[in-house]
Amino acid sequence: MTEATEIRYVEPGSSWWPLLWGPGFALLGLVVELTTPGPLHLPHWPVLAVLLAAAAVPWIRARRRFHSVTLTTVELTVGGESLPLDRLVLPEAEPATRAARVLGESSTVPKGKTEVPLLLRHRAESDTTAGTGTVVLAWARFPEALRAELAPLLRSE
């Protein structure tokens, strides 16, 4: 019998409200045009609003994919990378993170996020370093909340 997967922590990476930036700028441009002397370009402003909103969609989708964090009872997904929880260990002491690999298919922790160091257990039992773990960096906007949800799910080492 398999255990039901429960979502314990979610950061979506981006909301959809940036879609309103383009129409908001277009509305501001229309108001400026209506309150100042000069020619009116009334049909252009709705077209500009739609184009700017459409240009925001790929940006929002990319942020939702590559800047999201999801923790379930079986895996941690950081950006575009998922790891089963049985491969992760929550370190008791803060490990050195200078040369640690950043999870999520990124070379650095995204702006506005804080690193959460974890130990990654090696897969192969025959590996001579099995059990020691490699330091990897998960990240979250609210790292203490992520650590609080990870603590009961991961064993400490």
Q: Do residues 61 and 36 share a domain?
A: yes
Which pLDDT belongs to residue 125?
A: 52
- Decide if 2 is inside a domain: no
- Same domain assignment for residues 85 and 132: yes
- Identity (one letter) of the amino acid at 11? E
62 and 78 both lie in a single domain: no
Is 85 within a domain? yes
Note down the domain range covering 140.
73-150
DSSP sequence for 87-110: GEEB-SS----TTPEETTT-SSPP
Are 100 and 136 contained in the same domain? yes
The model's pLDDT over 102-114, given as tens digits with 9 standing for 90+, comes to 998 888 999 999 9
Same-domain pairing of 133 and 101? yes
Domains in the chain: how many in total?
A: 2
* pLDDT for res 128: 45
79 and 145 housed in the same domain? yes
Same domain, 105 and 145: yes
Amino acid 45: pLDDT: 96
- Of the candidates 48, 66, 84, which is a domain's last residue? 66
Is the pTM higher than 0.75? The answer reads yes
Domain identity same for 82 and 145: yes
